[in-house]
C-alpha cells in the first residue's frame, strides 16, 4: 500500500516568508508525528497528533511553528517568518495506534532551505 507522503520534496524560501509543509499519513493510521533533521541538532521531535486528543506540541522550537491535522488525516506544518536556522529536513511519520509500542513509518521528508 501507499506509504507516508510529503510535499513539497524541496522548498526554498526567503527569510521572513511563511511556508507550509504537508503530510499525508498511511491510510488508517491514527497517530501522526513531525520531526526535524538538521545538521547541528540531529533528528528531533516536534509534535504528535493522536486521534481527537489535544496534540503534544512540546517539541515545537518557537511560536513561529504551528501544525494542524484536518479530519484525522492530512497534516500541515506551518512556519511563519522563517529564519535561516529553520533550514532542515522536516520528516513526518505515522503509526497505527500511537503510544509507546507502535512502529513509526516515515515519509521522505521536505528539505527546507531559508536564504
Residues in touch with other proteins (CB under 8 A)? 4, 6, 31, 33, 35, 42-45, 48, 50, 56, 59, 91, 93, 95, 98-109
The C-alpha cell that represents 89 in the structure block? 529536513
Q: Which residue has the cell 533533521?
A: 37
Closest CB 35 distance from other proteins, rounded Å: 8
Cell numbers that stand for 93 in this block? 511519520
- Between 59 and 72, whose beta carbon lies closer to other proteins? 59
Which residue, 14 or 27, has its beta carbon nearer to other proteins?
Answer: 27
Cell 516536534 found at: 46
Nearer to other proteins, 73 or 102 (CB): 102
How crowded is residue 79: how many other Cβ atoms within 10 Å of its Cβ? 24
From the CB of 89, what's the least distance to other proteins, in Å?
A: 9
Q: Are 104 and 93 in contact (CB under 8 A)?
A: yes
Residue (97 or 115) nearer to other proteins, CB: 97
Nearest to 102 by CA among 33, 53, 39: 33
Amino acid at each position: 500500500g501507499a506509504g507516508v507522503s510529503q510535499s513539497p520534496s524541496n522548498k526554498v524560501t526567503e527569510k521572513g516568508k511563511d511556508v507550509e509543509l504537508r503530510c499525508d499519513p498511511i491510510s488508517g493510521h491514527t497517530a501522526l508525528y513531525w520531526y526535524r533533521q538538521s545538521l547541528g541538532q540531529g533528528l528531533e521531535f516536534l509534535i504528535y497528533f493522536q486521534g481527537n486528543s489535544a496534540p503534544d506540541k512540546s517539541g515545537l522550537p518557537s511560536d513561529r511553528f504551528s501544525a494542524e491535522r484536518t479530519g484525522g488525516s492530512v497534516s500541515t506544518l506551518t512556519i511563519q517568518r522563517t529564519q535561516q536556522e529553520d533550514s532542515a529536513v522536516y520528516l513526518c511519520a505515522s503509526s497505527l495506534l500511537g503510544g509507546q509500542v507502535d512502529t513509526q513509518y516515515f515519509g521522505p521528508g521536505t528539505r527546507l532551505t531559508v536564504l
